[in-house]
Amino acid sequence: MASNALQSEEDCTCPVCCDIFKDPVILLCGHSFCKVCLQEWWRQSRQKTCPVCKELFPMPQPPRNLALRNLSDILRREKAQRAASGSKDFCSLHSEKLKLFCRVDQQFICVICRDAKKHKKHDCVPINEAAKGYRNQLKVNLMTLKTKLGLFQKAKLKCDKMASHIKLQAQQTEKAIREQFQKLYQFLRAEEARRTDAVRKEEIHKSEAMKMRIMNLSAEISSLADKIKTIEEEMKAEDIAFIQNIKTTIERSQCQLPEPVSPSGALIDEAKHCGNLLYSVWKKMKDLIQYSK
């Protein structure tokens, strides 16, 4: 029964918040999410994609998953009842205090259960020893998470500097173009306007791309920071409550995010706008003059 309940709770867990669904909605790809979690995901990503399969869904409001909502409500009530039960510290079979943890069956047992046939050959340890082992495992996972958080923070800082440098590049490129076009007549001023417009368009395009990169890094940083905070709070719980949720906690502590990389081709191509500028404009004028003749 406990295994079935655990499996049902996994089926009713939102992939975004890693908790039992609250007011779940379903997308056309078949994936379900808490309504609030999906709206927040769409708000941060600015695209209506599935957080799991990344498929795009241009729909104003996804339908509610009523069957999943009913099952989630039942599981939430059962979980609350189990948490409120005062008998959870004692063995339901022998009325002895639960002092041991069976690592094979992943359940709390008393000293009589340990000598019974079911657990006699199993690896049974004191509850505090089991909790210590899980905490040590989570400490290693937390170190990985914190290291990755630092990498994302450094990447965001680098992108912030690159975003400022893009604007500086645009200003410097516009100035160089204006200084060279001051030597020319009305035709050259028209050419100047055309080229500065190209720089501004490239600035807008690459600034928007960098803003999106920064926004994604901010979202990942926020997600990692929230995940770390949640795990640290769960590690402070009592041993029994802590181990009861250990599977979910361990899954939450595992990070599949790849390390951030610096975007290539993000900066403005100054050479494209300024390289051999006078010669190319002079050649264009020369062709124009020949055509006029």
- The Cβ of residue 192 has, within 10 Å, a number of other Cβ atoms equal to 19
Q: Which of 9, 4, 34, 10 is nearest to 21 (CA)?
A: 34
Q: What Å distances lie between residue 144 and 17, 74, 139, 167, 191, CA to CA?
A: 20, 36, 9, 35, 54
Residue 104 · residue 122 · CB < 8 Å: yes
pLDDT at 227 over 50: yes
Q: How confident is the model over 248-273, as pLDDT tens digits?
A: 888 888 877 788 877 777 787 777 77
pLDDT at 83 over 60: no
Q: How confident is the model over 84-100, as pLDDT tens digits?
A: 554 567 777 766 788 89
**High-pLDDT (> 90) share of the chain, %:** 20
Which domains does the chain possess? Answer: 1-84 (3.30.40.10)
Q: What Å distances lie between residue 96 and 103, 175, 202, 220, 292, CA to CA?
A: 19, 83, 73, 47, 105
What pTM value is reported for the model?
0.34
Beta bridge partners of 124: 102
- Higher pLDDT: 279 or 7? It is 279
Q: What Å distances lie between residue 116 and 14, 110, 119, 203, CA to CA?
A: 38, 10, 6, 73
pLDDT for 82: 61
Quote the CA–CA distance of 33 and 63 in Å, as a whole number.
11
Q: How confident is the model over 122-158, as pLDDT tens digits?
A: 889 998 999 999 999 999 999 999 999 999 999 999 9
Q: At what angle do helices 277-292 and 127-181 cross, to 10 degrees?
A: 50
Average pLDDT in the chain: 83
Residue 288: pLDDT band (50, 70, 90) is: low
pLDDT for 143: 93
Residue 47: pLDDT band (50, 70, 90) is: confident
Residue 293: pLDDT band (50, 70, 90) is: very low
pLDDT at 214 over 50: yes
For CA atoms 57, 62, 67, 73, the dihedral sign is positive
Residue 61: pLDDT band (50, 70, 90) is: confident
Residues 227-257: b if buried by 16+ CB within 10 A, e if exposed: bbebbeebbeeebeebbbebebbeebbebee
CA angle 166, 170, 176 (to 5 degrees): 140
